């Protein structure tokens, strides 16, 4: 049986998981985000859309506390962005990015067990997670010998094994076949039910429609609400 990770504080539905006020980010002196305001509450899934290069992935890295903003203020899981407090909350955040965060020479199971040990999660949770995403039979296969879809599923299994308070998904459906796409719903649902929140970036608006509670569009470095209650304009 999968068990949630073990934060000493479980977010309540009324809790604000993340709040950004006027966040600005420059990448190599080029302004990418110029004043993003965004609030993510516990139990909700927020979709991020926008043109290529609009700063969606950059915003995910800010929410992951991996990128300190050049301007504005923000809190993620109670930690002020750009401060040393971020290090303490990072283990409660999961990021599934464009590139798989897997070690190519390790098997899928070894990759997940490695991360689990860094988290202090038991091995049986990893095995359950691999089974949940349909990778039990391929657990012993090296990551560099797996397809993109299998690697994506392994990353979703990693999220299942640790159940973060804030899940950040960058194009979560990329590489997944039609049968596997429900796994993204499974993972976000588990995070949501455990009192966490998700932010998902996707170009596939029809897939996003099924996944999110509301959508925010990034335009010219600013965030603007686009739809509420799963209503995503096509």
The binding site for other proteins (CB under 8 A) comprises: 5-9, 61, 64, 66, 77-78, 85, 87-95, 97-103, 105-106, 110, 114-115, 117-120, 142
Q: Which is nearer to other proteins, 9 or 224 (CB)?
A: 9
Nearest distance from residue 223's CB to other proteins, in Å?
22
Strand partners, 50: 218
Residue in the structure block whose two tokens are 């080029």: 30
Angle at 62 between CA 90 and CA 109, to 5 degrees: 45
Angle at 79 between CA 75 and CA 80, to 5 degrees: 55
Q: For residues 64 and 76, give the distance between their C-alpha atoms in angstroms, rounded to a whole number.
A: 8
Q: For residues 122 and 193, give the distance between their C-alpha atoms in angstroms, rounded to a whole number.
A: 21
Q: Which is nearer to other proteins, 8 or 30 (CB)?
A: 8
Chain length of the chain: 234
Nearest distance from residue 148's CB to other proteins, in Å?
13
SS3 40: strand
Q: Which is nearer to other proteins, 140 or 182 (CB)?
A: 140
Q: Which is nearer to other proteins, 150 or 232 (CB)?
A: 150
Q: Which is nearer to other proteins, 168 or 232 (CB)?
A: 168
Nearest distance from residue 233's CB to other proteins, in Å?
31
Q: Are 97 and 170 in contact (CB under 8 A)?
A: yes
Structure tokens given for 225: 């609400």
User: In 3D, which of 120, 127, 118, 177 has the Cα closest to residue 152?
Assistant: 177
Strand partners, 91: none
Nearest distance from residue 120's CB to other proteins, in Å?
4
Nearest distance from residue 170's CB to other proteins, in Å?
10
Q: Which is nearer to other proteins, 39 or 89 (CB)?
A: 89
Secondary structure letter of residue 178 according to DSSP: T
Nearest distance from residue 234's CB to other proteins, in Å?
31
């Amino acid at each position: 049986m999968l068990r949630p990770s073990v934060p000493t504080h479980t977010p309540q539905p009324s809790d604000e998981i993340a709040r950004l006020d006027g966040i600005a980010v420059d990448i190599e002196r080029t302004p990418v985000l110029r004043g993003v305001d965004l609030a993510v509450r516990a139990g909700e899934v927020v979709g991020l859309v926008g043109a290529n290069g609009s700063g969606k992935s950059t915003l995910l890295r800010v929410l992951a506390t991996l990128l300190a903003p050049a301007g504005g203020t923000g809190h993620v899981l109670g930690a002020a962005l750009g401060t040393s407090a971020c290090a303490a909350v990072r283990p409660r955040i999961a990021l599934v990015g464009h590139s798989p965060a897997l070690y190519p020479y390790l098997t899928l199971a070894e990759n997940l067990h490695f991360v689990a040990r860094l988290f202090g999660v038991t091995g049986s949770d990893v095995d359950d997670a691999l089974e949940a995403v349909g990778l039990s039979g391929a657990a012993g296969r090296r990551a560099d010998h797996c397809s993109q879809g299998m690697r994506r599923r392994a990353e979703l299994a990693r999220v299942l094994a640790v159940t973060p308070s804030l899940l950040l998904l960058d194009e979560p459906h990329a590489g997944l076949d039609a049968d596997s796409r429900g796994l993204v719903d499974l993972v976000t649902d588990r995070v949501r039910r455990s009192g966490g929140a998700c932010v998902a970036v996707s170009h596939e608006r029809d897939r996003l429609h099924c996944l999110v509670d509301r959508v925010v569009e990034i335009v010219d470095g600013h965030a603007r609400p686009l739809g509420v209650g799963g209503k995503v304009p096509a």
